[in-house]
Chain A
Protein backbone atom coordinates (compact mmCIF):
# COMPACT_ATOMS: atom_id res chain seq x y z
CA UNK A 1 0.00 0.00 0.00
CA UNK A 2 2.77 2.38 0.94
CA UNK A 3 4.46 1.84 -2.40
CA UNK A 4 1.23 2.35 -4.30
CA UNK A 5 0.59 5.54 -2.40
CA UNK A 6 4.08 6.79 -3.11
CA UNK A 7 3.69 6.05 -6.81
CA UNK A 8 0.35 7.80 -6.94
CA UNK A 9 1.68 10.88 -5.18
CA UNK A 10 4.89 11.14 -7.17
CA UNK A 11 3.79 10.08 -10.64
CA UNK A 12 0.03 10.43 -10.95
CA UNK A 13 -0.93 13.36 -8.73
CA UNK A 14 -2.74 15.19 -11.57
CA UNK A 15 -3.92 14.37 -15.10
CA UNK A 16 -0.95 16.24 -16.56
CA UNK A 17 1.44 14.31 -14.32
CA UNK A 18 -0.15 11.05 -15.34
CA UNK A 19 0.13 11.97 -19.00
CA UNK A 20 3.82 12.91 -18.63
CA UNK A 21 4.58 9.74 -16.67
CA UNK A 22 2.94 7.54 -19.28
CA UNK A 23 4.56 9.25 -22.28
CA UNK A 24 8.02 9.20 -20.75
CA UNK A 25 7.49 5.57 -19.79
CA UNK A 26 6.53 4.80 -23.39
CA UNK A 27 9.62 6.62 -24.66
CA UNK A 28 11.83 4.59 -22.35
CA UNK A 29 10.11 1.41 -23.53
CA UNK A 30 10.76 2.43 -27.14
CA UNK A 31 14.44 3.25 -26.74
CA UNK A 32 16.10 1.40 -23.87
CA UNK A 33 15.34 -2.29 -24.67
CA UNK A 34 16.51 -2.02 -28.31
CA UNK A 35 19.63 -0.20 -27.13
CA UNK A 36 20.46 -2.93 -24.61
CA UNK A 37 19.73 -5.57 -27.25
CA UNK A 38 22.02 -3.91 -29.73
CA UNK A 39 24.93 -3.10 -27.38
CA UNK A 40 24.90 -6.23 -25.24
CA UNK A 41 22.48 -9.07 -25.96
CA UNK A 42 22.74 -9.33 -29.76
CA UNK A 43 26.28 -8.01 -29.85
CA UNK A 44 29.35 -9.98 -30.95
CA UNK A 45 32.42 -9.87 -28.74
CA UNK A 46 34.54 -12.75 -29.96
CA UNK A 47 36.17 -13.23 -33.33
CA UNK A 48 38.75 -11.49 -35.43
CA UNK A 49 37.01 -10.25 -38.54
CA UNK A 50 33.85 -8.54 -39.63
CA UNK A 51 32.53 -11.92 -40.81
CA UNK A 52 32.26 -13.13 -37.20
CA UNK A 53 29.57 -10.55 -36.55
CA UNK A 54 26.37 -12.39 -37.53
CA UNK A 55 24.15 -11.85 -34.46
CA UNK A 56 22.72 -8.59 -35.84
CA UNK A 57 23.75 -6.43 -32.88
CA UNK A 58 26.83 -4.33 -32.37
CA UNK A 59 30.08 -5.70 -33.75
CA UNK A 60 32.49 -5.00 -30.88
CA UNK A 61 35.06 -7.13 -32.70
CA UNK A 62 35.77 -3.96 -34.65
CA UNK A 63 36.64 -2.00 -31.51
CA UNK A 64 38.57 -4.97 -30.14
CA UNK A 65 40.72 -5.38 -33.21
CA UNK A 66 41.37 -1.66 -33.52
CA UNK A 67 41.67 -1.02 -29.78
CA UNK A 68 45.41 -0.29 -29.73
CA UNK A 69 45.05 2.05 -32.71
CA UNK A 70 42.19 3.93 -31.03
CA UNK A 71 44.30 4.28 -27.90
CA UNK A 72 47.75 4.96 -29.33
CA UNK A 73 47.19 6.04 -32.94
CA UNK A 74 49.98 5.04 -35.27
CA UNK A 75 52.55 4.95 -32.46
CA UNK A 76 54.84 1.94 -33.14
CA UNK A 77 53.67 -1.15 -31.24
CA UNK A 78 57.07 -1.91 -29.74
CA UNK A 79 57.28 1.64 -28.30
CA UNK A 80 53.83 1.73 -26.72
CA UNK A 81 55.32 0.87 -23.33
CA UNK A 82 56.57 4.46 -23.12
CA UNK A 83 53.02 5.80 -23.19
CA UNK A 84 51.83 3.18 -20.73
CA UNK A 85 54.75 3.94 -18.47
CA UNK A 86 54.15 7.71 -18.36
CA UNK A 87 50.41 7.40 -17.87
CA UNK A 88 50.88 4.76 -15.16
CA UNK A 89 53.10 7.18 -13.27
CA UNK A 90 50.47 9.86 -13.71
CA UNK A 91 47.68 7.65 -12.38
CA UNK A 92 49.78 6.35 -9.47
CA UNK A 93 50.80 9.93 -8.57
CA UNK A 94 47.17 11.03 -8.54
CA UNK A 95 46.23 8.14 -6.25
CA UNK A 96 49.22 8.78 -3.97
CA UNK A 97 48.35 12.49 -3.92
CA UNK A 98 45.01 11.76 -2.25
CA UNK A 99 46.64 10.00 0.68
CA UNK A 100 49.79 12.09 0.93
CA UNK A 101 50.79 14.21 3.93
CA UNK A 102 49.71 17.80 3.09
CA UNK A 103 53.32 18.92 3.58
CA UNK A 104 54.47 16.99 0.53
CA UNK A 105 51.36 17.54 -1.55
CA UNK A 106 52.57 20.79 -3.04
CA UNK A 107 55.85 19.23 -4.14
CA UNK A 108 54.08 16.38 -5.89
CA UNK A 109 51.68 18.89 -7.43
CA UNK A 110 54.51 21.05 -8.76
CA UNK A 111 56.22 17.93 -10.11
CA UNK A 112 53.05 16.84 -11.90
CA UNK A 113 52.38 20.25 -13.41
CA UNK A 114 55.88 21.22 -14.54
CA UNK A 115 58.68 18.65 -14.88
CA UNK A 116 56.47 15.62 -15.42
CA UNK A 117 54.72 16.73 -18.63
CA UNK A 118 58.03 17.83 -20.13
CA UNK A 119 59.79 14.59 -19.17
CA UNK A 120 56.86 12.66 -20.64
CA UNK A 121 57.08 14.59 -23.90
CA UNK A 122 60.77 13.73 -24.15
CA UNK A 123 59.96 10.09 -23.43
CA UNK A 124 57.19 10.04 -26.06
CA UNK A 125 59.23 11.63 -28.82
CA UNK A 126 62.43 9.76 -27.99
CA UNK A 127 65.75 10.47 -29.69
CA UNK A 128 67.56 10.40 -26.34
CA UNK A 129 69.21 7.62 -24.32
CA UNK A 130 68.96 5.18 -27.20
CA UNK A 131 65.21 5.57 -27.54
CA UNK A 132 64.18 5.61 -31.20
CA UNK A 133 62.56 8.84 -32.32
CA UNK A 134 58.81 8.69 -32.83
CA UNK A 135 57.64 11.56 -34.99
CA UNK A 136 54.59 13.44 -33.74
CA UNK A 137 52.81 12.58 -36.98
CA UNK A 138 52.61 9.01 -35.65
CA UNK A 139 50.99 10.11 -32.39
CA UNK A 140 47.27 9.62 -32.27
CA UNK A 141 44.23 8.14 -30.65
CA UNK A 142 43.23 8.72 -27.06
CA UNK A 143 46.92 9.28 -26.29
CA UNK A 144 46.96 12.35 -28.53
CA UNK A 145 43.64 13.57 -27.11
CA UNK A 146 45.15 13.46 -23.62
CA UNK A 147 48.46 15.04 -24.62
CA UNK A 148 46.70 17.96 -26.28
CA UNK A 149 44.15 18.51 -23.54
CA UNK A 150 46.54 18.09 -20.61
CA UNK A 151 49.02 20.57 -22.03
CA UNK A 152 46.35 23.02 -23.08
CA UNK A 153 44.72 22.81 -19.63
CA UNK A 154 48.02 23.31 -17.79
CA UNK A 155 48.94 26.36 -19.85
CA UNK A 156 45.58 28.01 -20.49
CA UNK A 157 44.82 28.33 -16.78
CA UNK A 158 47.70 30.62 -15.74
CA UNK A 159 47.41 32.61 -18.97
CA UNK A 160 43.70 33.01 -18.30
CA UNK A 161 44.40 34.25 -14.77
CA UNK A 162 46.90 36.82 -16.05
CA UNK A 163 44.52 38.00 -18.79
CA UNK A 164 41.66 38.35 -16.31
CA UNK A 165 43.88 40.40 -14.01
CA UNK A 166 45.15 42.37 -16.99
CA UNK A 167 41.65 43.22 -18.10
CA UNK A 168 40.95 44.71 -14.67
CA UNK A 169 44.28 46.53 -14.53
CA UNK A 170 44.59 50.30 -14.23
CA UNK A 171 47.49 50.37 -16.66
CA UNK A 172 46.02 51.18 -20.08
CA UNK A 173 48.57 49.23 -22.12
CA UNK A 174 48.01 46.02 -20.19
CA UNK A 175 44.27 46.54 -19.99
CA UNK A 176 43.75 47.14 -23.71
CA UNK A 177 46.16 44.40 -24.67
CA UNK A 178 44.16 41.96 -22.55
CA UNK A 179 40.82 43.13 -23.91
CA UNK A 180 42.13 42.92 -27.47
CA UNK A 181 43.59 39.47 -26.94
CA UNK A 182 40.45 38.07 -25.30
CA UNK A 183 38.06 39.54 -27.83
CA UNK A 184 40.19 38.41 -30.76
CA UNK A 185 40.35 34.77 -29.67
CA UNK A 186 36.74 34.68 -28.61
CA UNK A 187 35.72 36.11 -31.93
CA UNK A 188 37.23 33.45 -34.18
CA UNK A 189 36.11 29.82 -34.50
CA UNK A 190 38.52 27.21 -33.16
CA UNK A 191 38.56 25.37 -36.48
CA UNK A 192 39.92 28.49 -38.20
CA UNK A 193 42.52 28.97 -35.52
CA UNK A 194 43.68 25.37 -35.94
CA UNK A 195 43.80 25.72 -39.69
CA UNK A 196 45.90 28.88 -39.37
CA UNK A 197 48.23 27.20 -36.88
CA UNK A 198 48.60 24.05 -38.94
CA UNK A 199 48.70 25.31 -42.49
CA UNK A 200 49.17 29.08 -42.72
CA UNK A 201 51.57 29.70 -39.84
CA UNK A 202 54.51 27.73 -41.33
CA UNK A 203 54.26 29.81 -44.49
CA UNK A 204 54.83 32.97 -42.46
CA UNK A 205 57.92 31.60 -40.71
CA UNK A 206 61.33 32.26 -42.23
CA UNK A 207 62.40 29.23 -44.21
CA UNK A 208 64.52 26.76 -42.26
CA UNK A 209 62.75 27.31 -38.96
CA UNK A 210 60.39 24.55 -38.09
CA UNK A 211 58.01 24.31 -35.18
CA UNK A 212 56.38 20.95 -34.79
CA UNK A 213 52.78 20.86 -35.95
CA UNK A 214 51.57 19.33 -32.70
CA UNK A 215 53.27 22.11 -30.72
CA UNK A 216 51.62 24.74 -32.93
CA UNK A 217 48.25 23.11 -32.42
CA UNK A 218 48.67 22.96 -28.64
CA UNK A 219 49.70 26.62 -28.57
CA UNK A 220 46.66 27.55 -30.67
CA UNK A 221 44.22 25.65 -28.45
CA UNK A 222 45.88 27.04 -25.32
CA UNK A 223 45.54 30.66 -26.44
CA UNK A 224 42.00 30.08 -27.64
CA UNK A 225 40.84 28.52 -24.37
CA UNK A 226 42.84 31.03 -22.28
CA UNK A 227 40.55 33.75 -23.59
CA UNK A 228 37.49 31.89 -22.34
CA UNK A 229 39.23 31.06 -19.09
CA UNK A 230 40.05 34.75 -18.61
CA UNK A 231 36.40 35.72 -18.82
CA UNK A 232 35.36 33.01 -16.38
CA UNK A 233 38.01 34.12 -13.89
CA UNK A 234 37.16 37.78 -14.38
CA UNK A 235 33.66 36.93 -13.22
CA UNK A 236 35.18 35.57 -10.02
CA UNK A 237 37.41 38.61 -9.54
CA UNK A 238 34.41 40.89 -9.82
CA UNK A 239 32.54 38.92 -7.20
CA UNK A 240 35.24 39.49 -4.57
CA UNK A 241 34.23 42.53 -2.55
CA UNK A 242 36.12 45.78 -2.68
CA UNK A 243 36.68 45.49 1.07
CA UNK A 244 39.04 42.57 0.47
CA UNK A 245 41.22 44.73 -1.78
CA UNK A 246 41.14 47.54 0.80
CA UNK A 247 42.04 45.23 3.65
CA UNK A 248 44.93 43.57 1.87
CA UNK A 249 46.32 46.93 0.76
CA UNK A 250 45.91 48.32 4.26
CA UNK A 251 48.13 45.64 5.78
CA UNK A 252 50.84 46.54 3.29
CA UNK A 253 50.37 43.90 0.60
CA UNK A 254 51.07 45.07 -2.92
CA UNK A 255 49.25 44.13 -6.11
CA UNK A 256 50.78 40.68 -6.58
CA UNK A 257 50.69 39.63 -2.95
CA UNK A 258 47.08 40.77 -2.58
CA UNK A 259 46.08 38.82 -5.64
CA UNK A 260 48.01 35.65 -4.88
CA UNK A 261 47.01 35.32 -1.23
CA UNK A 262 43.70 37.13 -0.91
CA UNK A 263 41.85 37.86 -4.11
CA UNK A 264 42.56 34.90 -6.40
CA UNK A 265 41.91 32.13 -3.85
CA UNK A 266 38.45 33.59 -3.26
CA UNK A 267 37.75 34.40 -6.90
CA UNK A 268 38.81 30.98 -8.21
CA UNK A 269 36.76 29.20 -5.60
CA UNK A 270 33.67 31.05 -6.77
CA UNK A 271 34.15 30.04 -10.40
CA UNK A 272 35.15 26.38 -10.05
CA UNK A 273 32.04 25.28 -12.02
CA UNK A 274 32.94 27.68 -14.83
CA UNK A 275 36.56 26.55 -14.88
CA UNK A 276 35.48 22.89 -15.03
CA UNK A 277 33.10 23.81 -17.83
CA UNK A 278 35.91 25.37 -19.85
CA UNK A 279 38.18 22.37 -19.30
CA UNK A 280 35.46 19.97 -20.41
CA UNK A 281 34.74 22.09 -23.47
CA UNK A 282 38.45 22.13 -24.27
CA UNK A 283 38.63 18.36 -23.99
CA UNK A 284 35.67 17.94 -26.31
CA UNK A 285 37.13 20.42 -28.81
CA UNK A 286 40.22 18.28 -29.44
CA UNK A 287 38.72 16.21 -32.33
CA UNK A 288 38.88 19.40 -34.41
CA UNK A 289 42.62 18.83 -34.82
CA UNK A 290 41.65 16.58 -37.75
CA UNK A 291 41.66 19.75 -39.91
CA UNK A 292 45.44 19.76 -39.76
CA UNK A 293 45.73 16.01 -40.18
CA UNK A 294 46.21 14.98 -36.56
CA UNK A 295 44.14 11.92 -35.70
CA UNK A 296 43.03 11.75 -32.09
CA UNK A 297 40.59 9.06 -30.99
CA UNK A 298 37.67 10.21 -33.15
CA UNK A 299 40.01 10.70 -36.08
CA UNK A 300 41.30 7.15 -35.66
CA UNK A 301 37.74 5.81 -35.71
CA UNK A 302 37.04 7.76 -38.88
CA UNK A 303 40.15 6.24 -40.38
CA UNK A 304 39.26 2.69 -39.28
CA UNK A 305 35.73 2.78 -40.58
CA UNK A 306 36.99 3.48 -44.10
CA UNK A 307 39.21 0.39 -44.01
CA UNK A 308 37.91 -1.94 -46.76
CA UNK A 309 37.73 -4.91 -44.35
CA UNK A 310 35.71 -2.96 -41.79
CA UNK A 311 33.24 -0.94 -43.83
CA UNK A 312 29.92 -0.22 -42.10
CA UNK A 313 31.33 -0.15 -38.58
CA UNK A 314 30.84 3.60 -38.05
CA UNK A 315 28.09 3.26 -35.43
CA UNK A 316 30.14 0.95 -33.20
CA UNK A 317 33.12 3.26 -33.49
CA UNK A 318 31.15 6.40 -32.64
CA UNK A 319 29.38 4.76 -29.71
CA UNK A 320 32.76 3.68 -28.38
CA UNK A 321 34.23 7.18 -28.77
CA UNK A 322 31.18 8.75 -27.16
CA UNK A 323 31.57 6.39 -24.22
CA UNK A 324 35.27 7.20 -23.79
CA UNK A 325 34.59 10.95 -23.99
CA UNK A 326 31.76 10.62 -21.54
CA UNK A 327 33.94 8.82 -18.99
CA UNK A 328 36.58 11.54 -19.07
CA UNK A 329 34.11 14.43 -19.02
CA UNK A 330 32.07 12.87 -16.24
CA UNK A 331 35.24 12.29 -14.21
CA UNK A 332 36.22 15.94 -14.63
CA UNK A 333 32.79 17.08 -13.60
CA UNK A 334 32.76 14.88 -10.50
CA UNK A 335 36.27 16.00 -9.60
CA UNK A 336 35.30 19.66 -9.76
CA UNK A 337 32.29 18.95 -7.57
CA UNK A 338 34.49 17.22 -5.02
CA UNK A 339 36.85 20.22 -4.90
CA UNK A 340 33.87 22.50 -4.40
CA UNK A 341 32.65 20.35 -1.53
CA UNK A 342 36.06 20.24 0.07
CA UNK A 343 36.47 24.01 -0.03
CA UNK A 344 32.98 24.51 1.31
CA UNK A 345 33.61 22.51 4.47
CA UNK A 346 36.86 24.25 5.35
CA UNK A 347 35.04 27.55 5.26
Chain B
Protein backbone atom coordinates (compact mmCIF):
# COMPACT_ATOMS: atom_id res chain seq x y z
CA UNK B 1 0.00 0.00 0.00
CA UNK B 2 1.49 3.30 -1.10
CA UNK B 3 1.04 6.76 0.29
CA UNK B 4 -1.89 8.42 -1.41
CA UNK B 5 -1.32 11.67 0.44
CA UNK B 6 2.17 12.84 1.28
CA UNK B 7 3.09 16.12 2.98
CA UNK B 8 6.77 17.00 3.42
CA UNK B 9 7.82 19.94 5.58
CA UNK B 10 4.72 21.93 4.76
CA UNK B 11 4.57 25.47 6.11
CA UNK B 12 1.79 28.00 5.75
CA UNK B 13 1.35 31.56 6.89
CA UNK B 14 -1.68 33.84 6.98
CA UNK B 15 0.17 37.15 6.76
CA UNK B 16 2.50 37.00 9.76
CA UNK B 17 0.60 34.21 11.44
CA UNK B 18 2.36 30.88 11.08
CA UNK B 19 -0.52 28.35 10.82
CA UNK B 20 1.23 25.18 9.73
CA UNK B 21 4.74 24.48 10.99
CA UNK B 22 6.90 21.81 9.35
CA UNK B 23 4.08 19.39 8.77
CA UNK B 24 5.12 15.87 7.78
CA UNK B 25 2.08 13.73 7.25
CA UNK B 26 1.09 10.83 5.11
CA UNK B 27 -2.01 8.77 4.50
CA UNK B 28 -1.92 5.31 2.97
CA UNK B 29 -4.48 3.98 0.59
CA UNK B 30 -7.66 2.84 2.41
CA UNK B 31 -6.34 4.27 5.65
CA UNK B 32 -8.61 6.26 7.97
CA UNK B 33 -6.90 9.07 9.81
CA UNK B 34 -8.53 11.26 12.43
CA UNK B 35 -7.01 14.66 13.08
CA UNK B 36 -7.86 16.28 16.39
CA UNK B 37 -6.69 19.16 18.49
CA UNK B 38 -7.87 22.38 20.08
CA UNK B 39 -9.47 25.00 17.87
CA UNK B 40 -7.00 27.21 16.05
CA UNK B 41 -4.42 24.44 15.97
CA UNK B 42 -4.37 24.38 12.15
CA UNK B 43 -6.16 21.07 11.56
CA UNK B 44 -8.79 22.50 9.20
CA UNK B 45 -6.12 24.42 7.33
CA UNK B 46 -4.13 21.21 6.99
CA UNK B 47 -6.89 19.27 5.27
CA UNK B 48 -7.91 22.30 3.18
CA UNK B 49 -4.35 22.28 1.84
CA UNK B 50 -4.80 18.71 0.63
CA UNK B 51 -7.29 19.82 -2.07
CA UNK B 52 -5.70 23.25 -2.33
CA UNK B 53 -8.58 25.29 -1.01
CA UNK B 54 -5.64 26.82 0.87
CA UNK B 55 -2.23 27.30 -0.67
CA UNK B 56 0.88 26.37 1.29
CA UNK B 57 3.98 28.51 0.95
CA UNK B 58 6.72 26.03 1.70
CA UNK B 59 7.16 22.31 1.45
CA UNK B 60 5.65 19.68 -0.78
CA UNK B 61 2.22 18.12 -0.99
CA UNK B 62 1.69 15.10 -3.24
CA UNK B 63 -1.77 13.63 -3.70
CA UNK B 64 -2.10 10.41 -5.65
CA UNK B 65 1.23 11.01 -7.31
CA UNK B 66 0.45 14.59 -8.33
CA UNK B 67 2.29 17.49 -6.73
CA UNK B 68 0.22 20.48 -5.63
CA UNK B 69 1.72 23.72 -6.90
CA UNK B 70 0.90 26.61 -9.20
CA UNK B 71 -0.01 24.22 -12.02
CA UNK B 72 -3.79 24.73 -12.29
CA UNK B 73 -4.49 21.77 -14.55
CA UNK B 74 -3.22 19.47 -11.91
CA UNK B 75 -5.44 21.07 -9.32
CA UNK B 76 -8.75 20.32 -10.97
CA UNK B 77 -7.58 16.75 -11.56
CA UNK B 78 -6.76 16.41 -7.88
CA UNK B 79 -9.99 18.03 -6.73
CA UNK B 80 -12.04 15.58 -8.74
CA UNK B 81 -10.33 12.73 -6.86
CA UNK B 82 -10.67 14.27 -3.43
CA UNK B 83 -14.13 14.68 -1.96
CA UNK B 84 -14.69 17.15 0.83
CA UNK B 85 -17.38 17.56 3.45
CA UNK B 86 -17.62 20.85 5.31
CA UNK B 87 -18.69 21.87 8.78
CA UNK B 88 -21.44 24.13 7.38
CA UNK B 89 -22.52 21.56 4.72
CA UNK B 90 -22.23 24.21 1.98
CA UNK B 91 -24.96 22.69 -0.15
CA UNK B 92 -26.03 24.89 -3.04
CA UNK B 93 -29.26 26.46 -1.74
CA UNK B 94 -30.70 27.29 -5.18
CA UNK B 95 -30.54 23.70 -6.42
CA UNK B 96 -32.48 20.63 -5.36
CA UNK B 97 -30.62 17.86 -3.51
CA UNK B 98 -30.59 15.80 -6.70
CA UNK B 99 -29.17 18.70 -8.70
CA UNK B 100 -26.59 19.32 -5.97
CA UNK B 101 -25.41 15.77 -6.52
CA UNK B 102 -25.59 15.62 -10.31
CA UNK B 103 -24.34 19.09 -11.36
CA UNK B 104 -20.62 18.42 -11.14
CA UNK B 105 -20.98 14.98 -12.70
CA UNK B 106 -22.57 16.61 -15.74
CA UNK B 107 -20.24 19.59 -16.08
CA UNK B 108 -16.95 18.27 -14.71
CA UNK B 109 -17.12 14.59 -15.57
CA UNK B 110 -19.17 15.22 -18.74
CA UNK B 111 -21.65 12.49 -17.98
CA UNK B 112 -25.19 12.46 -19.31
CA UNK B 113 -27.94 13.87 -17.15
CA UNK B 114 -29.57 10.45 -16.89
CA UNK B 115 -26.42 8.65 -15.74
CA UNK B 116 -25.57 11.41 -13.27
CA UNK B 117 -28.99 11.37 -11.73
CA UNK B 118 -29.11 7.63 -11.41
CA UNK B 119 -25.70 7.61 -9.69
CA UNK B 120 -26.85 10.49 -7.48
CA UNK B 121 -29.93 8.50 -6.48
CA UNK B 122 -27.72 5.50 -5.64
CA UNK B 123 -25.67 7.58 -3.23
CA UNK B 124 -28.69 9.34 -1.79
CA UNK B 125 -30.12 5.90 -1.09
CA UNK B 126 -26.87 4.95 0.57
CA UNK B 127 -27.13 7.91 2.94
CA UNK B 128 -30.86 7.22 3.32
CA UNK B 129 -32.34 10.42 2.02
CA UNK B 130 -33.48 9.32 -1.43
CA UNK B 131 -37.01 10.51 -0.56
CA UNK B 132 -35.64 14.06 -0.12
CA UNK B 133 -34.01 14.16 -3.56
CA UNK B 134 -36.33 16.77 -5.06
CA UNK B 135 -36.36 19.08 -2.05
CA UNK B 136 -34.15 22.10 -1.60
CA UNK B 137 -31.43 22.17 1.06
CA UNK B 138 -33.34 24.71 3.14
CA UNK B 139 -36.17 22.20 3.60
CA UNK B 140 -33.93 19.55 5.19
CA UNK B 141 -32.71 19.11 8.76
CA UNK B 142 -29.03 19.67 9.52
CA UNK B 143 -28.31 15.97 9.68
CA UNK B 144 -30.05 15.35 6.37
CA UNK B 145 -28.17 18.25 4.78
CA UNK B 146 -24.84 16.88 5.93
CA UNK B 147 -25.71 13.45 4.58
CA UNK B 148 -26.68 15.07 1.29
CA UNK B 149 -23.32 16.85 1.27
CA UNK B 150 -21.57 13.51 1.78
CA UNK B 151 -23.56 12.05 -1.11
CA UNK B 152 -22.65 15.03 -3.28
CA UNK B 153 -18.95 14.42 -2.63
CA UNK B 154 -19.28 10.68 -3.23
CA UNK B 155 -20.99 11.25 -6.58
CA UNK B 156 -17.65 12.38 -7.98
CA UNK B 157 -16.38 8.88 -7.04
CA UNK B 158 -13.35 10.22 -5.21
CA UNK B 159 -10.40 8.14 -4.04
CA UNK B 160 -10.06 10.16 -0.87
CA UNK B 161 -12.65 11.81 1.36
CA UNK B 162 -11.79 14.78 3.56
CA UNK B 163 -14.12 15.72 6.42
CA UNK B 164 -13.74 19.12 8.06
CA UNK B 165 -15.55 18.87 11.42
CA UNK B 166 -18.60 17.31 9.77
CA UNK B 167 -20.66 17.09 12.98
CA UNK B 168 -19.68 20.32 14.76
CA UNK B 169 -22.59 22.36 13.39
CA UNK B 170 -25.22 19.71 14.15
CA UNK B 171 -27.70 19.35 16.97
CA UNK B 172 -26.66 16.47 19.24
CA UNK B 173 -29.49 14.18 18.15
CA UNK B 174 -28.39 14.44 14.52
CA UNK B 175 -24.73 13.67 15.05
CA UNK B 176 -25.29 9.94 15.13
CA UNK B 177 -27.02 9.71 11.76
CA UNK B 178 -24.08 11.45 10.10
CA UNK B 179 -21.48 9.40 11.97
CA UNK B 180 -23.29 6.20 10.97
CA UNK B 181 -22.95 7.16 7.32
CA UNK B 182 -19.26 7.90 7.84
CA UNK B 183 -18.69 4.56 9.62
CA UNK B 184 -20.37 2.75 6.71
CA UNK B 185 -18.17 4.60 4.29
CA UNK B 186 -15.05 3.71 6.28
CA UNK B 187 -16.00 0.05 6.35
CA UNK B 188 -16.50 0.18 2.59
CA UNK B 189 -12.76 0.83 2.23
CA UNK B 190 -12.64 4.58 1.49
CA UNK B 191 -9.48 6.49 2.28
CA UNK B 192 -10.57 9.07 4.84
CA UNK B 193 -9.05 12.04 6.55
CA UNK B 194 -11.36 13.35 9.26
CA UNK B 195 -11.02 16.43 11.43
CA UNK B 196 -13.32 15.83 14.36
CA UNK B 197 -13.79 15.98 18.09
CA UNK B 198 -15.83 12.76 18.06
CA UNK B 199 -13.42 10.47 19.87
CA UNK B 200 -15.95 7.63 19.79
CA UNK B 201 -15.80 7.73 16.02
CA UNK B 202 -12.00 7.83 16.14
CA UNK B 203 -11.87 4.75 18.36
CA UNK B 204 -14.31 2.87 16.17
CA UNK B 205 -12.89 3.44 12.70
CA UNK B 206 -9.57 5.30 12.74
CA UNK B 207 -6.36 3.46 11.93
CA UNK B 208 -4.33 6.40 13.19
CA UNK B 209 -4.96 9.54 15.19
CA UNK B 210 -3.03 12.74 14.69
CA UNK B 211 -2.99 15.39 17.39
CA UNK B 212 -2.21 18.97 16.40
CA UNK B 213 -1.53 22.01 18.51
CA UNK B 214 -0.37 25.51 17.56
CA UNK B 215 0.40 24.50 13.99
CA UNK B 216 2.52 21.47 14.88
CA UNK B 217 1.72 17.80 14.63
CA UNK B 218 2.39 16.97 18.25
CA UNK B 219 1.66 13.28 18.20
CA UNK B 220 0.63 10.76 15.53
CA UNK B 221 0.02 7.14 16.47
CA UNK B 222 -2.02 4.02 15.88
CA UNK B 223 -5.44 4.55 17.41
CA UNK B 224 -5.14 2.21 20.39
CA UNK B 225 -1.70 3.48 21.20
CA UNK B 226 -2.88 7.06 20.98
CA UNK B 227 -5.66 6.64 23.51
CA UNK B 228 -3.80 4.29 25.84
CA UNK B 229 -0.28 5.71 25.88
CA UNK B 230 -0.28 9.35 24.89
CA UNK B 231 3.28 10.62 25.37
CA UNK B 232 3.04 14.36 25.04
CA UNK B 233 1.70 16.44 27.93
CA UNK B 234 -0.50 18.51 25.64
CA UNK B 235 -2.03 15.36 24.18
CA UNK B 236 -2.72 14.06 27.67
CA UNK B 237 -4.32 17.34 28.69
CA UNK B 238 -6.47 17.43 25.54
CA UNK B 239 -7.62 13.84 25.99
CA UNK B 240 -8.44 14.40 29.65
CA UNK B 241 -10.64 17.33 28.67
CA UNK B 242 -12.41 15.71 25.77
CA UNK B 243 -13.01 12.15 27.01
Interface residues of A (CB under 8 A from B): 241, 243-244, 246-254, 257, 261-262, 265-266, 269, 346-347
Contact = CB atoms under 8 A, between A and B. Distances in A.
Contact of B136 (A243, A244, A254, A347): A347
Contacts of A261: 103, 107
A247 B145 CA distance: 14
A243 B91 CA distance: 9
Q: Which of A243, A252, A254, A269 has the most B CB atoms < 10 Å from its CB?
A: A252
Contacts of A244: 90, 92
A261 B105 CA distance: 13
Given A246-B90, A247-B91, A347-B93, 4 more contacts: A243-B86, A244-B90, A252-B104, A266-B94
A241 B89 CA distance: 12
B46 to A, nearest CB: 15
Contacts of B40: none
Interface stretch (B76-84, B195-203, B229-237): B76-84
Nearest to A256: B107
B88 A243 contact: yes
A251 B90 contact: no
Nearest to A257: B107
B68 interface: no
19 contacts: A241-B90, A243-B86, A247-B84, A247-B90, A248-B92, A248-B104, A249-B51, A250-B53, A250-B79, A250-B82, A250-B83, A250-B153, A251-B80, A251-B152, A252-B76, A252-B108, A254-B76, A257-B107, A347-B94
Interface in B110-165: 136, 138, 149, 152-153, 156
Contacts of B88: 243
Contacts of B104: 248, 251-253
Contact of B86 (A246, A269, A346): A246
Interface in B57-92: 76, 79-80, 82-84, 86, 88, 90-92
A253 B72 CA distance: 12
Nearest to A250: B84
B90 A347 contact: no
The 4 closest A-B CB pairs, nearest first, are: A247-B90, A252-B80, A243-B90, A250-B84
A251 B79 contact: yes
Contacts of B86: 243, 246-247, 250
A346 B139 CA distance: 11
A93 to B, nearest CB: 27
Contact of B94 (A250, A253, A254, A265): A265
A269 to B, nearest CB: 7
A248 B109 CA distance: 14
Nearest to B104: A251
B53 A249 contact: yes
Nearest to B88: A243
Contacts of B156: 251-252
Nearest to A255: B72
Contacts of A347: 93-94, 136, 138
Contact of A257 (B48, B108, B136, B152): B108
Contacts of A252: 76, 79-80, 104, 108-109, 156
A266 B82 CA distance: 25
B220 to A, nearest CB: 25
A196 B152 CA distance: 53
A293 to B, nearest CB: 46
Interface in B151-185: 152-153, 156
A134 B44 CA distance: 67
Contacts of B153: 250-251
A256 B112 CA distance: 20
Contacts of A269: 94
B11 to A, nearest CB: 22
A346 B90 CA distance: 19
A244 B91 CA distance: 7
Which of B82, B91, B103, B104: most chain A CB closer than 10 A? Answer: B104
B51 A250 contact: yes
Contacts of B82: 250
A136 to B, nearest CB: 42
A270 to B, nearest CB: 11
B229 to A, nearest CB: 36
Contact of B79 (A241, A249, A265): A249
Nearest to B48: A246
B83 A253 contact: no
A70 B152 CA distance: 58
Nearest to A263: B92
B190 to A, nearest CB: 16
A347 B82 CA distance: 29
Nearest to B164: A246
Contacts of A250: 51, 53, 79, 82-84, 86, 153
B108 A247 contact: no
